[in-house]
Chains A and B, each alone.
Chain A
Amino acid sequence: MNHEGRHGGTAAAPGTAILALERVTCAFGGLKAVADLDLSLERGVLAGLIGPNGAGKTTVFNLVTGVYPPTAGRILLDGRSIRGLSTSRIAGRGVARTFQNPRLFAELTCFDNVRIACHLHCGATVADSVLRTPRSEKEEHELLERASGLLEAFGLSGYAQERARNLPYGDQRRLEIARALATEPKLLLLDEPAAGMNAQESIRLMHLIREIRDRYRLTVLLIEHDMRVVMGICERITVLDHGVKIAEGLPEAIRRNPKVIEAYLGEEA
């Protein structure tokens, strides 16, 4: 695993934003799912994006990964605009994500789920593959090691040859994170990683997220409803409501922000 080497050389000076949204709007017809959003992520930060249902959190992820083009505004990754790039090209620039409902390759083995995600780091041509040239053989061999290494790091080695759909739910979520890491991202977007987990699993997940951030030197942005998780690990929090940013800052400040309590927490009270 050569995470440091790959991104280390191209990294901009510390302190610059790895991701910046500048007055980004995303409208579907008359509905503004995201309105005039400014968001900036420092390199290496573990940030949270929260808000009531329908606040536009997942839309932000879809904008950053190029699933939707923004109606207005700019999205900069490492200072470069991602305008017009396809989702796969953006992934190539170092953005990986998980989904609200795990989108694993259900019929394939866990091992193949991770191995497929190493795609960005393969260079053999179709002709190489068909003729099984030394280049392709060598690369395939590297894939084996890379994928088994990741499965091991996530404690999923025992499931390597199991079909992904047969895994317990919590393990499916972890497999999805392992798969996202196989792309060797700089920025990892996690969409409700703790959804459907019990308290114990959530705590394990929190440790895991912090650990992978440190180990792989990632920047992490996560959407989460579980306040224990959000307050427990996020260093910065952004709050959305109806597509508009209503608060931003440290967890303690967010916890006491009256606007947030009204829009989000107050809803339930």
Chain B
Amino acid sequence: MVRRLLIGAAVLFGLWVLDRGLTAGLNPYFYRILVLSGLNVMLALSLNLINGVTGQFSIGHAGFMAVGAYTSAAFTVYAAPRLAGGTPEGLLAALLFIPAIAIGGAAAAIAGFLVGLPSMRLRGDYLAIVTLGFGEIIRVAILNIDAVGGARGFAGIPQLTTFTWVGAGAVITYVVIRNLLRSYHGRALLAIREDEIAAEALGIPTTRYKVTAFVISAFFAGAAGALFSHYTYLHTNSFTFMKSIEVIVMVVLGGMGSLTGSILGATLLTALPEALRFASADRLIIYSALLIVLMIARPQGILGQREISFSRMFGRFRNPAPEARGTGVK
């Protein structure tokens, strides 16, 4: 336990140092791309839990992100000043940012539960349509709430998000989902993807697991939304159907069910449109063409179901843990 806390602190410190270095040495444009990559990593990892691991098809991820973004922003703008007795500054602002992110994640998780429970009887296309509808309803509903800016966008949110926050968010998302997948819970999700009828016959309560996957996934999408809303101008236009599709493409491109694949896919697809800026007007065409070529060349995604594993790379130096050889997804 102590060891884990130390590792956590070390990672956090490392991120902070890196952040300092990046802020000093990198122009703001690249810094921004890195932050957005981190957010997309969180989104892709969490969506992978539903679409890749559990084998369900959700296209409402932007909806969960929006719930998290607006709830946490509302907390920071309306509740935080009261708690702090004035506009919080410096360390206090940072400390109040933690509950803001947690509240954003929790609100999205509740939304995930509410959407998941009734719709888990549906499969494939039907589930996709329900989640699509949910995403749009959320967006339009927020558009009509004046307290969070409605169609004007939500202004006056302190810009608290830095690379350190996003990096920590991405690391936590990865570790939580990875640990889950290495447990019997995670394997139950895989079993549902492989054969739901067999899973149920072996005593796995499939509906409960699917809803759980939805809730966990929505939580991290909400947390990513919370970080997003404290980074850039907040408007419902950021959470359209296209955003959900973008995240799906990241998951599919990286490899369904592969966590490191999602990280790779998210980073690549955030950076690619920027790298193609030299082609100005043609870049969207090139971007799309690249995706098509990639999907023809590797329909299973870049990593398929495999994982990039450092412990395997260095595994020659020590005995591999028996469980590390177990699942296709780890």
Chain A interface residues (CB < 8 Å from chain B) = 65, 67, 86-89, 91-92, 96-97, 99, 103-109, 111-112, 115-120, 122, 124, 126, 128-132, 136, 139-140, 143-144, 161, 163, 179-180, 182-183
Contact = CB atoms under 8 A, between A and B. Distances in A.
20 contacts: A67-B197, A88-B205, A88-B206, A89-B205, A92-B203, A99-B197, A106-B195, A109-B326, A116-B184, A116-B188, A117-B202, A119-B188, A119-B202, A120-B202, A124-B185, A129-B184, A129-B186, A130-B179, A140-B182, A140-B323
B301 to A, nearest CB: 14
Contacts of B194: 104-108
B184 A140 contact: yes
Contact of A129 (B185, B195, B204): B185
Interface string B68-110: 0000000000000000000000000000000000000000000
A99 B199 CA distance: 12
Given A119-B188, A126-B180, A126-B212, A86 B322 contact: no
Interface residues of B, number: 33
A111 B326 contact: yes
Contact of B323 (A119, A129, A144): A144
Contact of A104 (B195, B203, B204, B323): B195
B201 interface: yes
B200 A87 contact: yes
Contact of B203 (A88, A106, A112): A88
Contact of A126 (B182, B185, B328): B185
A134 to B, nearest CB: 9
B197 A103 contact: yes
B204 A119 contact: yes
B325 interface: yes
A91 B322 contact: no
7 tightest Cβ-Cβ pairs between the two chains A and B: A129-B183, A91-B203, A105-B194, A103-B198, A120-B203, A87-B200, A88-B205
Interface of B: 176, 179-180, 182-188, 190-191, 194-195, 197-206, 212, 216, 305, 322-323, 325-328
A132 B202 contact: no
Q: Mostly helix, strand, loop or mixed at chain B's interface? A: helix
B179 A96 contact: no
B202 A115 contact: no
A109 B202 contact: no
Contacts of A144: 322-323
A130 B180 contact: yes
A86 B195 contact: no
Given A87-B201, A126-B212, A131 B179 contact: yes
A145 to B, nearest CB: 10
A119 B202 CA distance: 8
A161 B176 CA distance: 25
B198 A115 contact: no
A116 B326 contact: no
Given A112-B327, A119-B188, A144-B323, A129 B200 contact: no
Contacts of B187: 108, 112, 115-116, 119
Nearest to A95: B201
Nearest to A117: B202
A111 B201 CA distance: 18
The winner among A65, A87, A96, A140 for most chain B CB atoms within 10 A is A87
A59 to B, nearest CB: 15
A140 B182 CA distance: 9
B109 to A, nearest CB: 12
B185 A96 contact: no
Contacts of A117: 202-203
A132 B176 CA distance: 10
B19 to A, nearest CB: 26
B194 to A, nearest CB: 4
Contact of B326 (A91, A112, A119): A112
Contacts of A103: 195, 197-198, 201
A19 to B, nearest CB: 16
Contacts of A112: 187, 190, 326-327
Contacts of B191: 105, 108, 116
